[in-house]
Amino acid sequence: MTATTHRRSGLEEIATTVAGQAREVDTSRADPRATLGLLSRQGLLDLGIEDVHAGHPNADAVAAMADVLEGLAFECLTSAFVTWAHRMTLEYLARGRRTPGNDAALEALRRVDLIGVTAMATGMKALAGMEPLGVTGAMVEGRLRISGRIPWASNLVPGAVIVLPVAVEDGRRLVVRITRDDPGVQIRPATGLMALDATASGMATLEAVAVEDDAVLSEDFATFAAGFRPTFLILQTALAIGVARRAATEGQARLDRPGLEGLRGCVEDVGARVQELTRRWRTLPLTTSSAAELRELLAVRLEASILVGDAAGSAGSAGSAVLTVVDAGTQPGSLASRLARWTARRVADQAAAEGLALEMHHVVLAEIAVDVGYGLLDCAPRAGAARAVAAVERADVLVAVSPVHNASYSALFKAFLDQVPRGTLAGVPTLMALAGGSQRHGLVLDHVMRPYLATLRALVVPTAIDAHRGDWLPHDMPSAALDARIGQGALELVALAGTASRLRRAATPA
């Protein structure tokens, strides 16, 4: 068996495993970084890294790594994304200054004993003259200490190795290595990312973080970036190509459904564009020696991003619905807001399993409470509330979540829905949920909230969700019982989503 055949066989095996656990990953029940271990054992994680480390990058190895990422993205974007971030961290360390610390970190990343984080976004913008570097450094008592903010990074798990550029007070721009657990590193996790929650993404704030002498990879960020940029763009584009190809495939598969014949031209056009862009991507120069070659890399990367949206749109047109989530939680992180986010995630997961594309809108009432209040006086919603009302008017399906206040839904919840035009919710499949202090508050659902939604002529699904503090586990995870209730409600809501338009046309205001 040739090396290429062995590699292809190994990738097919891993892709099958990734596809089988994609749903668990999308709902944060499985760690996408487990894919790194699978790739490492098959020799597919560090393809060409030895050559890069020796100063002789191998174009064939970059192409092979791009194929790996494209194949993963076709099955599970989250798994592919964390793999890309880890692989780029390997690339930086392999290209960096040889020191005992850097070499040890590289080997640990290759074995997946540690996880890699690429924090180069602000650096690339700085090189383009768009903004200054977000992290600065100064020598304090003979040691480099860095402070600032990394606006966005992924794989921010305990012990992760972070590689980032730093602007030093003497004018140099360094590339350094730190870890997520270093003193002075504070992580603010990003939540509400739906299927991408498992990427462990967020913002990092650095305050006087010490950088060891042997943790400096380069003292010339511009030259360092010029070396890794082609690989960076090729592998990023691989993710987009994989997602676009999957969306085009899903759209094509839905064309046999009744009533969708008119979409054939659109879907087939997108499929042809995916094939053509894939061809261009596979012929890109893997090392650039001219500005023209770099422009072609950037052009294909941009076109791939646009194509992802177009492909997803064509797939969604062949079976889609608008989901609006009304969150009446009083503040971020409240029980009601937590319940709204998790319910939305489970509905999206169920929709994906049913082949239904969701366009999702979140209406966070705490953010527009003043406008809602003025709307009661003006008898018409003000700007913020008007946008929220428009989101409800567009809804094919609705998730309505409120905290319990004095044995009822909240005044803010009712004040907002009272400003939604009469008949808007007629025939709209609706999943209702309440966040209370104890199990006794569950009575509010069927005795108070369901009758109110019935007066609005919403089509409320049989399962209603009540959650209290005891239903939540650490890290904002629901208990098995709560998750099962949410899952059943999501199942019923999605089952009705396909008939939502017909029901709404049949409904007339009372």
Hey, where are the domains in the chain? Answer: 3-218, 221-317, 320-506
Which H helix or E strand runs over 479? none
Query: How many Cβ atoms from other residues are within 10 Å of residue 225's Cβ?
Result: 20
Tell me what percent of the residues of the chain surpass a pLDDT of 70: 88
The pLDDT value given to residue 84? 96
**Per-residue pLDDT reduced to its tens digit, 428-482:** 899 999 987 666 666 788 888 889 998 888 889 998 998 888 888 876 778 888 8
Please tell me which residue, 279 or 165, carries the higher pLDDT value. Answer: 165
Res. 187: pLDDT tops 90: yes
The pLDDT value given to residue 148? 95
Q: Which residues contact 115 (CB under 8 A, 6 or more apart)?
A: 33, 36, 86, 109, 155, 157, 159, 160, 161
The one-letter amino acid at 137: G
SS (H, E, C) 230-292: HHHHHHHHHHHHHHHHHHHHHHHHCCCCCCCHHHHHHHHHHHHHHHHHHHHHHCCCCCCCCHH
Q: Is the Cβ–Cβ distance between 114 and 160 less than 8 Å? A: yes
Alpha-carbon span 431 to 325, nearest angstrom: 10
Q: Is the Cβ–Cβ distance between 117 and 199 less than 8 Å? A: no
Q: Is the Cβ–Cβ distance between 239 and 74 less than 8 Å? A: no
Nearest-CA neighbor of 89 among 157, 9, 171? 157
The pLDDT value given to residue 45? 95
Q: pLDDT-derived band of residue 157, with 50, 70 and 90 as boundaries? A: very high
The pLDDT value given to residue 398? 94
* Predicted structure pTM score: 0.67
Which CATH fold would you assign to the domain 320-506?
A: Rossmann fold (3.40.50)
- CATH class for the domain made up of 3-218: mainly beta
Query: How many Cβ atoms from other residues are within 10 Å of residue 20's Cβ?
Result: 12
The CB-side HSE value for 206 (13 A sphere, CA atoms) comes to 27
Res. 98: pLDDT tops 70: yes
The pLDDT value given to residue 194? 59
CA angle 273, 274, 275 (to 5 degrees): 90
The pLDDT value given to residue 125? 86
Res. 503: pLDDT tops 50: no
- Across all residues in the chain, what is the average pLDDT? 85
